[in-house]
Amino acid sequence: MANIYVFIIVYLLGQVFDVKGEVFIPRRSADSILHRSKRYNSGLLEEILQGNLERECIEESCTLEEAREIFENFEQTNKFWNQYVDGDQCQSNLCLNNGSCEDGINSYTCWCTSGFKGKNCEIDVSKMCSYENGGCGQFCNNDLVQGSICSCVHGYKLAEDAKSCEPEVPYPCGKVIRHSLDTNTNVASATLENNKEIVPIVNKDTRIVGGHDSFPGEIPWQVHLISNNFKCGFCGGSIINENWVVTAAHCLRPNENITVVVGEFETEKEEGTEKYHDVINVIKFPKYNASENKYNHDIALLQLKPPIEFNDYALPICLADSAFTEDVLMKSGTATVSGWGRLASGGPQPYKLQKVELPYVERTQCMSSSKVMVHHNMFCSGVREGSKDACQGDSGGPHATNFNGIWFLTGIVSWGEGCAAEGKYGVYTKVSRYYKWINHVTRGFPAHHLK
């Protein structure tokens, strides 16, 4: 009975005071109590209120402008924003070899330690071709995995170290068997100005000035061109293979009957090492035009009969592509020029094969030394003091560069203003510009084109 009375009393009180039992209140009323203001685009107070990273960018989504107002620092804002937008790209340790990672939007940047490069610092610079030729004995090709891959010129193969090259034929190109050229020769006391690299030059119908006698077999690729019409020597050349010799195009006169002598050393006596070959085909570079310019594209190939039998006194010089020739060989400092040319301008010709070591000349220095146009397929070599040069009679002969004991043909004696004149250099045909043409002719010449 008592419980009924209690219920009735509670009910009556509820009716009298109209008590509501709702849990939620209207939104407008709630907003007046629980109001959180945003800084971005919120009016004058936006520039006064202190930014709050947790409130504005973590509890809510913020814009780049809001983040910038919070950090008030460009670098810190970008660092935060790059991770905030798409996560941290650097979490997976993408940078190798102790490189540091910087996050970006849908990207990352690796800052490599010294000696490494690449997107992920994966490339060891010390193994690339640009650094000491990648450690290769001859040719070097860059490789993203190994850093570099070495290879060898025809007639050589890679040694077990996969770096150096060793002969695989009895008489490989560029390897002197009888004597080594004197690599300790003081280059005409020629100190390169401002440590600039120097490049080769020669003289009209050039010859060696300021050089000295070579040794028999020391320059076994050197040949002597003999005019059967006039019974005298007139130019030089270089053995490319058993069938072909390369020389200067300006040496070759129309209808000239030529004999090529290989194994020659002293022209005034027979030494038993000389071999004589008829020229059965003359091929000048297709763009050579003596009527326009006697020395532009100054290169020609002579086909011989019978083929040369290689020996200690007659073997080919090596050829390399333009990349190796220009990036490695022509930056090595000096080269050797040889021939039976005059010992001075208008002077006597020597009996013994002469040689001279000459520095390469920087191109702008080369061009400024002459009023005559030095084309891109030419280069200069010599000393400014004028003590060493090629001279009349040396034309067509080799400008050879030694690399790791192997000799490569870098130039052909072409022209010059006087012989060893002060302030002048010898000008040479840049063989690297004709590498593909030489290979095409000497290794795959169509039989129906032969005379």
Of the listed ranges 64-73, 91-100, 107-116, the least confidently predicted one is 64-73
Q: Provide, rounded to the nearest whole percent, the portion of the chain with pLDDT above 90.
A: 47
Task: State phi, psi for 120 to the nearest 5 degrees.
Answer: -115, 20
Q: Using pLDDT thresholds of 50, 70 and 90, give the confidence band for residue 345.
A: very low
> What b/e string do you get for 70-102 counting C-beta neighbours within 10 Å, with b at 16 or more?
bbeeeeebbebbbbbeeeebbeeeebbbebebe
- pTM of this structure: 0.69
Q: Which domains can be identified in the chain, with CATH numbers? A: 64-121 (2.10.25.10), 126-167 (2.10.25.10), 193-444 (2.40.10.10)
Instruction: Give me the torsion for CA of 394, 398, 399, 401, rounded to 10°.
Output: -150
Q: What is the pLDDT at residue 311?
A: 97
pLDDT at 18 over 60: no
CB atoms near residue 447 (< 10 Å) = 5
In the numeric block, which tokens belong to residue 422?
Answer: 């002060």
Q: Provide, rounded to the nearest whole percent, the portion of the chain with pLDDT above 70.
A: 71
Q: Which residue has the higher pLDDT, 10 or 405?
A: 405
Q: Which residues are designated catalytic?
A: 250, 298, 395
| pLDDT tens per residue, range 182-233 | 433 333 333 333 333 323 333 334 345 556 889 999 999 999 999 998 888 9
Q: What is the pLDDT at residue 295?
A: 96
Q: Which residue has the higher pLDDT, 228 or 10?
A: 228
Mean pLDDT in residue range 425-432: 96
Measuring CA to CA, which residue among 444, 398, 412, 414 is closest to residue 173? Answer: 398
Q: What is the pLDDT at residue 200?
A: 32
| pLDDT tens per residue, range 134-163 | 999 999 998 877 778 999 999 999 999 999
Mean pLDDT in residue range 81-87: 66
Q: Using pLDDT thresholds of 50, 70 and 90, give the confidence band for residue 90.
A: confident
Cis ω before 306 (30° cut-off from 0)? yes
Q: Which residue has the higher pLDDT, 344 or 402?
A: 402
Q: What is the pLDDT at residue 53?
A: 65
Q: What is the pLDDT at residue 188?
A: 32
Amino acid at 271: E
Of the listed ranges 9-13, 61-65, 184-188, 218-222, the least confidently predicted one is 184-188
Q: Which helix (H) or strand (E) holds 14?
A: helix 2-17
Average pLDDT, the chain: 80
Mean pLDDT in residue range 341-366: 78
User: Which contacts of 55-60 are long-range, i.e. CB under 8 A and separated by 24 or more positions?
Assistant: 57/84
Mean pLDDT in residue range 325-342: 91
| pLDDT tens per residue, range 248-257 | 999 999 888 9
| Range from 232-236, 384-388, 400-404 that averages highest in pLDDT | 400-404
Q: What is the pLDDT at residue 44?
A: 47
Q: Which residue has the higher pLDDT, 247 or 56?
A: 247
Q: What is the pLDDT at residue 306?
A: 97
Q: What is the pLDDT at residue 192?
A: 30
Q: In Å, how far are 316, 400, 404, 430 from 138, measured between CA atoms?
A: 17, 15, 8, 19
Measuring CA to CA, which residue among 375, 370, 376, 364 is closest to residue 426? Answer: 370
pLDDT at 265 over 70: yes
Looking at residue 57, the DSSP 8-state letter turns out to be: I
